[in-house]
Structure formats: structure tokens, C-alpha cells
Amino acid sequence: MCTVTVIPLASGRRGYRLVTSRDELRTRPQGEPPQWHSLRDGKAVWPTDSLAGGTWVAASDRGLTLAILNMTAPHLKAPPTHKARTRGEIIPKLIHHRDCGAAVAGLGERSLDCYAPFRLVAVCSRMDGLPRILEARWDGDRLATVEHRDTWGCFASSGLGDELVADRIGLFEAMVRPAADPVSAQDEFHYHRWDGRPEASVLMCRGDARTVSITTIAVRRAEPPLSAVDAPFEVKPFYMPLPEEPPVVEVRARDREAGRATGRR
């Protein structure tokens, strides 16, 4: 249950900015803020799931950022409980790779039968400094990879069904891409809530779950000159835990469908 967005950063060094909203059950404890971890070659930063361990987003000083979302649909099946492992362990096992192509290839080399369906969004910098975005989709049976030609991206999931939150993508296209200040618009997007549709909103709120945190990661090439020990990328993480909100009454399915039919927001 998450929303992930990616925008290019327009500057002399270029780069990209990834923001992820984490939606979780109200009974789950708040995550731990981002910490740096040593890798075989370099370092990476990520917040930690306080309950299951692992993480939902990480970035390395090689310029690679990985974010994971649940994938939910009626036809998808999770592994048996005795076999299941947390999806939060996937990113720490892949973040050492040199770029998003290598990370997705590394995912394909692993046995995934123990994981419930998910989507892994992998972002790195192209030669021109713009973001390259890959998406790996595990449906519980097979792994498929999509390379997005666009340098902007929005991905959304919901425990009630990913179809329910598909409108978030249209909102991103209308709200962020054409903005004079895309960075500010990206932040506003992640705090957006539709009147009468809190359970489908980016800033999600329903009786049993809510958006619990927003993590922002900005990645740029480091300014030259570089010494032999300098990292090639400058990574700036920012983690915002969100305060508890009172539960809301879920919108009835009939009213929700009527809203979609009329375009009401």
C-alpha cells in the first residue's frame, strides 16, 4: 500500500527526486528513520520497518534508488503462511548493484516463491543525467520487467485493490508534470486528499489503515573534482513520519462507483 513518484531535477548536474508515501495498518508500529549502511562497494541509506525488518525504499551512492509496492488484485495469490517471507528484505539484497538494470537482473536470479506479489521500482541516472526507470512485477507466478521510456513516473497500490487507486496516476499527470515548480508540486501531490474519497487518496485514510510516512530521496551527480574516495552521486534522504489521525468511515462502494462515473473528486 504505497504511492511512489519520480521526477527529473533540472539543474547543471541534473538528477532525480523520488518520493514514496507508505500506507500501513494502524496497528503496525512506525518505521525507523533512514540510516546509512556500508555495502561491498560504497554505502546506501534506508528507513527500516520496525516490525518485520527490511525496508520499502533505499538509495545508494552509486545513484540507484529502489522502492517496493504491494501488488493487489483478486486473481493474485500469496504464498502459504509457513513459506512466506517479508518483502521488506528484497531491497537490502539488491541495493548494492551498480544501476537499475543490474538490480532488476539480480532480482530475476532470486527465488521469489516465498514473496507475496509486488512491484519493484528501480531508478538510476542515464548518461544525460535524466532518470532511467525500470519496473519489475512479481505476480506470485512469474516476474515481468517494464522499462519506462518516460523520465517521470507514478506508481500506486492499495490493500483494497490497485484498481481503486489508479486515479492517483491521472492526478499526478495533471498536478505535477505541467507545474512551474515540479518539486513543490510533487510534495503537494503526496499530501493530496480527495473530498469524500480518503480511502483512495494519496494521503490515504480509512478505518484500519492510513499513510504513516513520506520518504523523499534526491539524487544528483556529485560536483567535480572528485577524489578517489568520493562517491559519484550525492544522495539526500528526508523522512517525515505523519501523526495519527482519527479513523474515518469508509465510503460505500456504491457511492465510490458513482463518483468515478461522474468524474467527481
Tens of pLDDT along 143-197?
A: 999 999 999 999 999 999 999 999 999 999 999 999 999 999 999 999 999 999 9
Count of Cβ atoms closer than 10 Å to residue 53 Cβ: 11
Listed in sequence order, the DSSP H helices in the chain are 90-94, 100-108, 167-175, 182-190, 253-262
What pLDDT score was predicted for residue 80? 87
What pLDDT score was predicted for residue 248? 57
pLDDT digits (tens, 9 = 90+) for 23-77: 999 999 899 999 999 998 899 999 999 888 899 999 999 999 999 999 998 889 8
Between the CA of residue 62 and those of 99, 131, 136, 152, 224, what are the distances in Å? 7, 13, 20, 20, 15
Fold of 2-262: Penicillin V Acylase; Chain A (3.60.60)
Confidence of residue 227 (pLDDT cuts 50, 70, 90): low
Bond before 225 cis per omega within 30 degrees = yes
Residue 182 to residue 19: CA distance in whole angstroms: 12
Q: Is the pLDDT of residue 82 over 60?
A: yes
> Do residues 121 and 137 make contact, with C-beta atoms less than 8 angstroms apart?
no
Confidence of residue 260 (pLDDT cuts 50, 70, 90): very low
Q: Is the pLDDT of residue 255 over 50?
A: no
What pLDDT score was predicted for residue 51? 87
pLDDT digits (tens, 9 = 90+) for 5-16: 999 998 666 899
Maximum C-alpha span of the chain:
62
Q: Is the pLDDT of residue 226 over 90?
A: no
Confidence of residue 20 (pLDDT cuts 50, 70, 90): very high
